[in-house]
Structure 1
Amino acid sequence: MPSTPNYLWELEDQLGQGATASVYKARNKKSGEEVAVKVFNNSSYLRPFEVQMREFEMLGKLNHINIVKLFAVEETGNTKQKVLIMEYCSSGSLLSVLEEPENAFGLSESEFLIVVQCVVAGMNHLRENGIVHRDIKPGNIMRLIGEDGRSIYKLTDFGAARKLQDDETFMSLYGTEEYLHPDMYERAVLRKPNQKVYGVTVDLWSIGVTFYHAACGSLPFIPYGGPRNNKEIMHKITAEKPPGAIAGVQRKENGPIDWTSKLPVTCRLSEGLRTQFEAILPNILEADQEKCWGFDQFFAETNNILERMVVHVFSLPQARVHKIYIHHYNSVAVFMDMVANQTRVAPERQIYFYEGHPYPISTTLQVHHLSMTTEHYPFILNGCESEGPIGVTYKDPAFDFPRLLPSVDVSIDCSVSKNIVSAVYQTLRVTESLLTCQEFILRGMYWFIENLKAECHRIVEKKSAVMSYYNCMCSLESRNTRLYNAAYKESATDNQDQGDCRKKLQLIWNTLSSCSHSPDKESMLGFLLLEVTKDQDHIRVDTSIGRMKHCLQKMQVIFKQFKKRKHQQRLSYNDEQIHKLDKINLGNLAKKVLTIFQEDVVQKYQVALSAHSSRMRTITEIQNHLGIVNGYLSACVQDLRSYEESVNNTVDRLAQRMQQTCLVQPNHSPLTSYHGPPQQELAVRLIKLRDQMKSVSYELEKNNSIIERLNIS
């Protein structure tokens, strides 16, 4: 058993192997603590001595949570070979994570952000120490699970690292083909001589390829036949990449390169995060070293993303989930503009609901004052108008299901079965997205309908209050008419004013008559609410995800068997027959998953989307109708208040006239004498009219308080 004075290990516990060394899991002889030991092979000793010592020196200077720690440098007992004793990362590398079928289409958004944060922090520590890594790739980023259950990624393998400041260059060649800067690729892989020198930005190219790989599950630059089988085209793709492009794929032999500046639809990142990284990747995946960003700008832009908070929003008109990445100190006005960019709902039309209630927000507040949202409990956004739901954007998983060949080839069968299992994982994720979308649609519709029902009820109350107000004014108008008849001979102008008042009342009545009966709309909303509740019950009892997961569990067992058989040189007759049956079973399970998805999940989703579109149109019509009615009622209130003011002015004017009459004939007070000259009798009538007006003042105040409470202007 190989050992050093303090550690021992077995050759079977190999963690990885490179050109100059192998890494094993080892244990401390006293404490049993698990560590990783890097044992150098004979090829490593052919290098210059200063190159051999470089890794020891690099690791000795570094101390950061996102860089694998060096505990000690020891020698083996017999050969006296130097061995690096390093931190053991029990969860493998980022490459091993990406090779899991679950991550064949890229990491989840939360895990991807952890990778970015860890790599950026680790690289920042390297640059602070003036070190260039020169071999950044998923295989050199180790994973450890922290005490909180979150991943911690650490840079490792500093065999190619060296001291290099931002303004310095080098000519030596290191790195891994698929992640290598095109200038270095030309010399190292194609063996074409060039006199180019390389700066620290070559690490940025490798980081860009690594980030793309982590986000999408595949490399960004792929020639027909693969990077290792078509090296000339591989170099052509990377070296001639047009500005703004982040990926290029050759799909046919000698065919054109399909360039793209967008992450693929199968990528698991949200639109809000994709757009952020689609702005960064072209600037670090830049073959021209002079045009490539420097590390300072790279750190600034990536940290700008990492420092943002996420606000989850579900757009009811679009039927889509959105994640808004925004700084906590930004104003709500900025947040609403960002929502508008993703949802096409203008800020002035944005209506939010949260936990079943309307959520009014002030544009002057900072975003961190908003209520906390999550993926399962987002804000529900609605707009006044809708162009029709867009729904979830996804690629039909059927295109990613490969076919199993009838012949037995354990290596090919293992690879194909992995792709099938990966496609099932993706199908399951799409299914979850479609069901979540339906759940949010129904949740938002339920809240919105309930709010509209309450609005209908308020409109009914408003109309009742306005009608009472109108009836009071009609009563005053009737009494005032009698007074006008008595005073007609006194003033033709007053008679004309009285006629104008009657016309005003008639116009107000015409407006009130045009307000259709809101309870009809409330009944319609009640019917929609019953439909939504029924659909919610169906979503709760949906079994499609459970059935898919059951198939997936069986498929994973078969895939594990295929992985074991892959390492067998030859299968026995019985094992071969079992292998064939496993292939048949795997194919049948894959077909079952697709059938569930296409004939159950997708069909229900399309029906739900169609029903949502119809309901949104109905609700929008009702909402617009209520807005019109509310406008009519507001106009009526303004007219009634204007009419009330004119009546009061007329009565005051007549009162002043009668008081003047009483002053001329002081022995006949209108308060004590009901009989007498016409002027005195008119004054008495006026006093009675004003007393009668007091009797309706309480009703007027009551109606006005209702109107103001219901926000009728």
Structure 2
Amino acid sequence: MQSTTNYLWHTDDLLGQGATASVYKARNKKSGEVVAVKVFNSASYRRPPEVQEREFEVLRRLNHQNIVKLFAVEETGGSRQKVLVMEYCSSGSLLSVLEDPENTFGLPEEEFLVVLRCVVAGMNHLRENGIVHRDIKPGNIMRLVGEEGQSIYKLSDFGAARKLDDEEKFVSVYGTEEYLHPDLYERAVLRKPQQKAFGVTVDLWSIGVTLYHAATGSLPFIPFGGPRRNKEIMYRITTEKPAGAIAGTQKQENGPLEWSYGLPITCKLSMGLQNQLVPILANILEVEQTKCWGFDQFFAETSDILQRTVIHVFSLPQAVLHHVYIHAHNTITIFLEAVYEQTNVAPKHQEYLFEGHPCVLQPSLPAQHIAHTAASSPLTLFSTASDTPKGLAFRDPALDVPKFVPKVDLQADYSTAKGVLGAGYQALWLARVLLDGQALMLRGLHWVLEVLQNTCQQTLEATRTALLFLSSSLATERFSSGAGTSDVQELKEATELRSRLQTFSEVLSKCSHNVTETQRSLGCLSEELLKNWDQIHADNRSIQKIQCCLDKMHFIYKQFKKSRMRPGLSYNEEQIHKLDKVNFSHLAKRLLHVFQEECVQTYQVSLVTHGKRMRSLISSFWTELPNRELRDHHDLLIPALIRRTWSSTCRSFVTI
């Protein structure tokens, strides 16, 4: 046990350890409150006194919900070592969140936005106080859970921080090499002499790498063999990166460098958010400090994202759910253009339903008038100008499954199990997304059918009324063979009008017949959709199978995680370990089989069926109805005798 005047901790309660200090979980002697204490080691005291005091001074200046709070600076009783007493974040760091196999391919969109909001707010507070952190990375971003269950992320570890205004430079080197700006990396890691001074924008590079890591689950710059095994290539990747590229890899030893200008397909962020985020990453992951954005522009662009409203749109033509990021004060015209950018459906062809009802969007109104949506309750986009639905594009998780080495290697087995489990969680996430897509396809088409059936019924009623009116008009004396008409011109006009009314009557009869046939077709399709709901429930059972496999795999993974810290296993323990490897592999194969043979195949079949239904719906309703003929006879409504009676009916026909 160790203590200060007011706090007590045990050295077994280690939370983290660095080059100059260790962090422990401690308690207040009087209240029992749990805190974190940072205890500095002998290496720390070999630093100049002003450097030792710098962290204390920085923390005393800062007071923000997204920065770990400093409660006190105390000394241990015996050695009189300095101790920082700080806020305890019970949920670990962002790095520990990303190390969870469930986040192997990055955070879900909602959690990523929380990280972005917290990091931006914390960094903004640092800049307002003229502080440069110099060691931004996921391990120095702590997480705790708020009273309402929400994540709160806080910047921590200010051992490398110092006061630095925007125009000032520094020459000392700090940081973690994977997250270092290339200029710092050259001197600190490669040990190459150089005379460069560094400004506050070096934090922006570290933030860019951190955000990429959070979005994808991996680092943006990876040489063959890994960043720490091939440092020269690591430096080459970061310094030779073309403008606009946000990632670079070397897949073969001595192989070429490959660049990426977008986030990988395995990323869980929507394309709507990716379109907003990628330009920011491209401009802060800029080697030349003169070309890199400053903090003002970074804060402006990230705040712009965080202030936007997300409108969820499920495109029936594509069978894809879109997240449209837009400001509430933007007009609906801007929203329609944003939808066009993601769906390729022109604004004039966009028709919307929301919760089964037509949703008319007035272009001049602000977007805040659009209904509140969610991923499970989006606007449904329907368009007659549709191609074959392509559905969700994704990478088969089986391609990312590593294989166990034959021999017992505790560290290697743990790493392999973690990779396989990560691919399994990705399969589970994809299975849920695919199932949700199938449900939205069925529900969207069902709503369209209901609207069309109602329209058909209204059309039939209007047509029947019109036919009765025409029959009555044709039977009147006014349209008889010129009886009582002395003027030859009047007789000619009356005869022509009678002929055209008869033609119009035939068109209406044909329209009535076609609408009746269309109603019958829509009814059959509606019954077919209702039957498909049973398949949705069957697919849900597939997800339960995947979850069951994952639960068993996770139990074995935890055993491997515990074993890797041991120097070795006894004979019996080793035999159990081998059996666990075999069982783990069998569970992974079963999981991937269920995903590929049940989830993916069912989804692909549903896509083909959805495309056929869309084509059938469009051809039966928009082609068979004699719209053109109705429009050709629109001028029959011009004569004053029938204009008023027919105006509303005609508008219905033309609209349909």
Which TM-score band applies after superposition, normalised by the shorter structure?
Answer: over 0.9
SS at match of 2:546: helix
2:545 pairs with 1:535: no
Partner of residue 613 from structure 1, selected from 582, 598, 611: 611
Report the Cα distance in structure 2 between the residues aligned to 1:80 and 1:618, rounded to whole angstroms. Answer: 82
Note the C-alpha offset of 1:581.
0.7
SS at match of 1:392: coil
Report the Cα distance in structure 1 between the residues aligned to 2:478 and 2:65, rounded to whole angstroms. Answer: 89
Match of 1:208 in 2: 208
Partner of residue 508 from structure 1, selected from 504, 518, 540: 504
Amino acid at match of 1:257: L
Q: 1:196 to 1:506 in 2, by over 3 A?
A: same
Amino acid at match of 1:545: I
Q: 1:216 to 1:705 in 2, by over 3 A?
A: closer
Amino acid at match of 1:504: R
Deviates more, 1:202-211 or 1:594-603: 594-603
2:381 pairs with 1:381: yes
CA offsets, 1:660-686, max 9 Å, x none? xxxxxxxxxxxxxxxxxxxxxxxxxxx
Report the Cα distance in structure 1 between the residues aligned to 2:23 and 2:189, rounded to whole angstroms. Answer: 25
Match of 1:393 in 2: 393
Match of 1:481 in 2: 480
Report the Cα distance in structure 2 between the residues aligned to 1:607 and 1:7, rounded to whole angstroms. Answer: 63
Whether contact under 8 Å (2:631, 2:654) holds in the other structure is no
Deviates more, 1:579-588 or 1:352-361: 352-361
CA offsets, 1:479-537, max 9 Å, x none? 5436x3455xx443333334333443344345446545211111111111111111112
Q: 1:223 to 1:469 in 2, by over 3 A?
A: same
Amino acid at match of 1:481: S
Match of 1:265 in 2: 265
Deviates more, 1:459-468 or 1:326-335: 459-468
2:549 pairs with 1:562: no
1:85-100 superposed matches below 5 A: 85-100=85-100
1:340-359 superposed matches below 5 A: 340-359=340-359
SS at match of 2:595: helix
Report the Cα distance in structure 1 between the residues aligned to 2:374 and 2:245, rounded to whole angstroms. Answer: 33
Gaps spanning 5+ residues in structure 2: where?
A: none
Report the Cα distance in structure 1 between the residues aligned to 2:362 and 2:137, rounded to whole angstroms. Answer: 46
Q: 1:24 to 1:480 in 2, by over 3 A?
A: closer
Q: Give the aligned CA root-mean-square deviation in angstroms.
A: 1.9
| Count of matched residue positions in the alignment of Structure 1 and Structure 2 | 654
Note the C-alpha offset of 1:76.
0.5
Amino acid at match of 1:562: F
Report the Cα distance in structure 1 between the residues aligned to 2:502 and 2:652, rounded to whole angstroms. Answer: 26
1:198-597 superposed matches below 5 A: 198-476=198-476, 478=477, 480-481=479-480, 484-487=482-485, 490-509=486-505, 511-512=507-508, 515=511, 517-542=514-539, 543-597=541-595
Match of 1:21 in 2: 21
Report the Cα distance in structure 1 between the residues aligned to 2:605 and 2:571, rounded to whole angstroms. Answer: 50
Report the Cα distance in structure 2 between the residues aligned to 1:495 and 1:151, rounded to whole angstroms. Answer: 84
Amino acid at match of 1:518: V
Amino acid at match of 2:492: Q
**Larger Rg over CA atoms:** 1
Report the Cα distance in structure 1 between the residues aligned to 2:14 and 2:484, rounded to whole angstroms. Answer: 114
Whether contact under 8 Å (1:511, 1:636) holds in the other structure is no
Note the C-alpha offset of 1:361.
1.9
Whether contact under 8 Å (1:508, 1:640) holds in the other structure is no
Note the C-alpha offset of 1:406.
2.3
Q: What is the TM-score when the length of structure 1 is the normalising length?
A: 0.89
Match of 1:675 in 2: none
Note the C-alpha offset of 1:338.
0.6
Deviates more, 1:363-372 or 1:634-643: 634-643
Whether contact under 8 Å (1:93, 1:139) holds in the other structure is yes
Match of 1:600 in 2: 598
Whether contact under 8 Å (1:28, 1:34) holds in the other structure is yes
Note the C-alpha offset of 1:641.
5.0
State percent identity of aligned pairs. 55
Report the Cα distance in structure 1 between the residues aligned to 2:335 and 2:212, rounded to whole angstroms. Answer: 28
Report the Cα distance in structure 2 between the residues aligned to 1:625 and 1:645, rounded to whole angstroms. Answer: 28
Report the Cα distance in structure 2 between the residues aligned to 1:712 and 1:33, rounded to whole angstroms. Answer: 70
Match of 2:148 in 1: 148
Match of 1:659 in 2: none
Report the Cα distance in structure 2 between the residues aligned to 1:368 and 1:517, rounded to whole angstroms. Answer: 40
Whether contact under 8 Å (1:181, 1:202) holds in the other structure is yes
Whether contact under 8 Å (1:9, 1:26) holds in the other structure is yes
Note the C-alpha offset of 1:640.
5.0
Whether contact under 8 Å (2:213, 2:220) holds in the other structure is yes
SS at match of 1:37: strand
CA offsets, 1:103-141, max 9 Å, x none? 110011111111111111111111011110000001111
Gaps spanning 5+ residues in structure 1: where?
A: 647-699
Report the Cα distance in structure 1 between the residues aligned to 2:633 and 2:602, rounded to whole angstroms. Answer: 47
Match of 2:54 in 1: 54
Whether contact under 8 Å (2:142, 2:156) holds in the other structure is yes
Q: 1:171 to 1:479 in 2, by over 3 A?
A: closer
Report the Cα distance in structure 2 between the residues aligned to 1:306 and 1:347, rounded to whole angstroms. Answer: 26
CA offsets, 1:531-570, max 9 Å, x none? 1111112202430111111111100110011111111211
SS at match of 1:517: helix
Whether contact under 8 Å (1:8, 1:26) holds in the other structure is yes
Report the Cα distance in structure 2 between the residues aligned to 1:437 and 1:292, rounded to whole angstroms. Answer: 40
Match of 1:681 in 2: none
Note the C-alpha offset of 1:258.
0.9
Note the C-alpha offset of 1:349.
1.2
